Amino acid sequence: MTASDSLPLTATRRFPPGFLWGTATAAYQIEGAAAEDGRTPSIWDTFSRTPGKVFEGHTGDVAVDHYHRFRDDVALMAELGLTAYRFSVSWSRVQPTGRGPAVQKGLDFYRRLVDDLLAHGITPVLTLYHWDLPQELEDAGGWPHRATAERFAEYAGIVAGALGDRVERWTTLNEPWCSAFLGYGSGVHAPGRTDPVAALRAAHHLNLGHGLAVRALRAALPPRARMSVSLNLHELRPLTPAPEDLDAVRRIDAVGNRIWLGPMLKGAYPEDLLRDTAHLTDWGFVRPGDLADVHQPLDSLGINYYTPTVVAAPRDGVEAPRNDGHGASAYSPWPGSEDVAFHQPPGERTAMGWAVDPTGLYDLLLRVAGEHPGLPLLVTENGAAYEDEVAADGSVHDPRRVAYVHGHLDAVHRAIADGADVRGYFLWSLLDNFEWAYGYAKRFGAVHVDYATQRRTPKSTAHWYARVARSNELPAPGGA
């Protein structure tokens, strides 16, 4: 029996003192003001304008106008009792060409945002890169090009110089797997390229950019600053216990998880990953000294989780399905393991078609805690999209989202009880927003946004989560 097994279902779960209760957003998804104050196009500006790439041609030009409404949004966070806010900086707003001097108006926006957060007692958690590479750097080769990692470190130093006196928590990259393999492999994300070798090169240079950025940040920031990265680690399960399905888990674990955990936390790529991809590349783009650069000490690891992934070996005469939840494409985001079959997990689904299974988060936290003892963890994204409706009185009642978050917070609490050092939870997302290739068709927000008027309306989830955050306690299922 584990410690969590002994807690009755009717009991209130109390979280450790100082546990961070936050929400998360990303710059391109919420800011808008796409051409104001010196900002230039990122790869997502270009991608969203490419016919057929984003639902109904939606763009982030206006998004939810956070650039002009951030003070109201921060006040809303304070009303909800949140103690932390994870946001990203728009690289092309700060450094429009991805090289050279910064645009002070861009930095001033983030200075004002951070000052307002601090004035309301909210800890800013800054992410340097959430997928919005300056288009000029993509034109020069993008993440498959080594120089992009070097430019990223320079950009990190610029942001640190501007905000290092205000921000203590720094995250280099958000979900580099998506940047590399959805952006350069399957092409369902910006920049929309479909080259498996370019995707692997991008993965390495994202790893390298992370390590170089950590070094740049530590050189520019006071000793109290804390470094992290946020990874969308895949909680993998075999379709059957058959050896071939277990090997499918191993293969996807290599290219989905250990491609990041190995270099960042152990200083080496997994040997089986190199074997699985040897027919594509000899990995000659990894130069001597790179892995030492990547392997930098971290103060925490961010984990993003939404749903588990079920995989299997291909069956003779049966086309392998790829229900991996990462968008439809004729090209695979799994280089070297393109023939692995992905199956839909059983159970209830969100509007994204993702299975609701909090046990996946529990298992993932315990795995990482066991493999990397002593490294504090943060759940930096977790949430659900549903078909929200505005009632006649203007309210938005979303009990399925409340149940989703409750179940996953219970999983976090159980993981803590069983030894995982989890320090905080960030609900995705604060606001309904531009949901990448899905445009404005999917709503993840705790706060509803009327896109025509930009009116914000806290949903039931927001009010429920506020009570949890203020009390530092998770009520029993069905509790207030």
User: Could you list the active site residues?
Assistant: 175, 381
Name the helix (H) or strand (E) containing 43: helix 43-48
Q: Are 260 and 254 in contact (CB under 8 A)?
A: no
How far does Cα 46 stand from its chain's mean position?
21
Cα distance between residue 280 and residue 140, in whole Å? 23
Do the beta carbons of residue 193 and residue 139 sit within 8 Å?
Answer: no
Alpha helices by DSSP H, 238-358? 243-253, 259-261, 271-276, 290-294
Cβ–Cβ < 8 Å for 164, 117: no
Secondary structure class of 406 (helix, strand, coil): helix
Torsion of CA 385, 389, 393, 399, to 10 degrees: -50
Question: What token pair was written down for 8?
Answer: 């009755």
Write down the residue that tokens 């950025």 correspond to: 213
Question: Which tokens hold the place of 26?
Answer: 């990303």
Query: Residue 214 CA to chain centroid, in angstroms?
Result: 18
Going by DSSP bridges, is the β-strand pair 309-312/341-343 parallel, antiparallel, or unpaired? antiparallel
Cβ atoms of 206 and 149 within 8 Å: the answer is yes
Residue 300: which H helix or E strand, with range? none
Write phi, then psi, for 301 (nearest 5 degrees): -125, 125
Rg (CA), the chain: 21
DSSP tag of 76? H
Q: How far apart are CA 34 and CA 61, in angstroms?
A: 5
Residue whose token pair is 């990462």: 326
Percentage helix, strand, coil for the chain under 3-state DSSP, each rounded to 5: 40, 15, 45
Asked whether the beta carbons of 416 and 461 are under 8 A apart, the reply is no
With tokens 């909800």, the residue in question is 80
- End-to-end, the C-alpha distance of the chain in Å comes to 29
Neighbours of 180 (CB within 10 A): 28
Measured distance CA(256)–CA(248) in Å, rounded = 12
Whether residue 221 contacts residue 169, with contact meaning beta carbons closer than 8 Å, is answered with: no
Q: Which amino acid is at 85?
A: Y
